Amino acid sequence: MVAEYRSSSGRVASTSASISAEGLAAEETHGVELTTLSYLPRRQITAYVGRISLHFVQEVHIDSLSKGPVGMGAFVFSFIAEVQALARAHTAARGGMALIALSIDQVQIIRDDRSQAYATISISDDVVRYAKAPEDVNVIN
């Protein structure tokens, strides 16, 4: 895996890392699944790890002269992507494999006159572990 980033001097640098999947089950290499459903299709829930409730606040200055994606659309997209990534990280840290019954409890996104944007979101969901269901059996939770 190669990641590129821009250093404080403005230079583009890259880092590389190799991740070995040896010793891991195929299910664990796909990452944490996230769904609003109360079940996982073609999966059997083996354990409920617990419920999580996460709250996020972000403030940013929207500058039309900066490089890269700008504006409210880019801000909202990146904010939601960060929320999903952090929810997946919390799930993995608790030993879960999936987030089910995802609920957005509150969301508020505001842009003011001074090109400032504010976003708050509260989400809650259940952390579960699962196993692949047999091919010939329909699993209903």
pLDDT attached to residue 25: 42
- The residue extents of the domains of the chain are 32-132
Least trusted range by pLDDT, from 20-34, 65-79, 101-115: 20-34
How many Å apart are CA 19 and CA 31, to the nearest integer? Answer: 13
pLDDT attached to residue 128: 98
Question: C-alpha distances in angstroms, 98 versus 20, 80, 104, 125?
Answer: 21, 18, 16, 10
- Residue pLDDT, tens place only, 46-63: 999 999 999 999 998 887
Q: Is residue 30 pLDDT above 90, yes or no?
A: no
Q: Is residue 3 pLDDT above 50, yes or no?
A: no
- Given the candidates 2.30.30.830, 3.30.110.70, 3.40.50.1100, 3.40.50.620, the CATH classification of the domain at 32-132 is 3.30.110.70
- State the burial class of residue 50 (Cβ atoms within 10 Å of its Cβ: 0-12, 13-18, 19+): exposed
- In degrees, rounded to 5, the angle at the alpha carbon of residue 40 between the alpha carbons of residues 100 and 108 is 30
Q: What are the percentages of helix, strand and coil residues in the chain, rounded to 5? A: 20, 45, 40
